Amino acid sequence: MKLGILGPPQSGKTTLFAALTRGQADTGSARGEKVHLGSVKVPDARLDKLRDLYQPKKFTPAKVDYVDAPPMETAPGRAERGTLAALTALRDVDAFVLVVRAFDDPAVPHFRETIDPASDASWLVSELLLEDLAVVERRINRIEKSLKVGKKPEDPAEHDALKLVMEALENERPARSVPLTKPQERSLRGFRLLSGSPWILVVNADDETMKKGEAAIVTPVLQRLAEPRPPVFALSAKTEAELAALSDEDAKEFMQVLGIQEPGLTRMIRLSYEALGLLSFFTVGPDEVRAWTVRDGALAPEAAGAIHSDLERGFIRAEVISYDDLMRVGTLNKARDQGLLRTEGKDYRVRDGDILNVRFSV
């Protein structure tokens, strides 16, 4: 899973990125602009307990990659739409984390002078839709010029799909809201439209603002956004960065003092999984305890393929037990004796928290 972090200048998106990656990230470039790249281990209390149970030689949580691109350009003389480096760097991500500012700091000027996260969110969404519209319009113009001279399109589904998406964008609706046929979907994959991917909107507040309660912070933002609205939640990137720098024990103490039930970063990853329709399953044993990520709805052979392509190609069956059942009885042998370790075939739909042992023959 690869997420792109995007926001206007001084929104705190790079502070959020630093918190997510604990300040350990690489730097790359896109059209001469610096981007930051980092990976995060997905926190999962279930996986931690499985590690404690098996004491494996190797422990491998799932991973999320983050890309922090340059801030969105806001000046009137900005580059041509559809070509901005900040967005070019994010064309290959699976989802976007959009960051808007709700913190007040006289030392950090706001790009629009007034702190108004609802207005900023509306502006940011509009900018992304306009970027997509520019890309779509250019491609439609090229296709229609070719049609005028009698040249047949390479993909007949593409022109119709683009027209449908253009209509949605012109009405301020994202590309992902357009119902397309499978051939139409395939025809648009190469464009990597910004509004074709899920969005998660983060309102970056300070601790004082957070005391108002999340509903008071996010409700005005939600009211400004058109349907389909992305998930919106609030956190303090500065506080999250401080928490990320502490040991687990100290972080728990700090959270208790601030009245934080769950780190905002953990919640953001969970929302990312939900937005992308993903789930985690586990493999366990003395050699390794590991989390794997697949789409919600994946059948057992597809989950086996996430582990290794040979397992999917030669899939015979999978031994399956839920995390809760294993933790209740303590061992796989006891689970087998009690009939909790099931044998499932190719039609089994994997569930979040399943523990799989794949039988295969190649």
> Which pTM does this prediction carry?
0.86
Domain boundaries, the chain: 2-115+196-275, 136-195, 297-360
Q: How far apart are CA 41 and CA 32, in angstroms?
A: 29
* pLDDT single digits (tens) 233-257: 999 999 988 888 888 889 889 888 8
Provide the pLDDT for residue 138.
92
- Do 2-115+196-275 and 297-360 show the same overall fold? no
Assigned architecture for domain 2-115+196-275: 3-Layer(aba) Sandwich (3.40)
Fold held by 297-360: Ubiquitin-like (UB roll) (3.10.20)
CA distances from 138 to 83, 141, 234, 236 (A): 12, 5, 37, 40
Provide the pLDDT for residue 76.
53
Percent of the chain with pLDDT over 70: 92
Q: Is the pLDDT of residue 201 over 90?
A: yes
Angle ∠(315,318,322) on CA atoms, nearest 5: 150
Q: Is the pLDDT of residue 23 over 70?
A: no
Q: Are 11 and 105 in contact (CB under 8 A)?
A: no
Q: For the residues 214-222, what does the mean pLDDT come to?
A: 95
Could you identify the residue written with the tokens 């699976």? 94
Q: For the residues 201-205, what does the mean pLDDT come to?
A: 95
Q: For the residues 294-321, what does the mean pLDDT come to?
A: 96
Q: Is the pLDDT of residue 156 over 90?
A: no
* pLDDT single digits (tens) 35-83: 788 888 888 999 999 999 999 999 999 999 998 888 877 655 454 554 4
Cis before 61 (ω within 30):
no
Q: Is the pLDDT of residue 332 over 80?
A: yes
Host H or E run for residue 200: strand 199-204
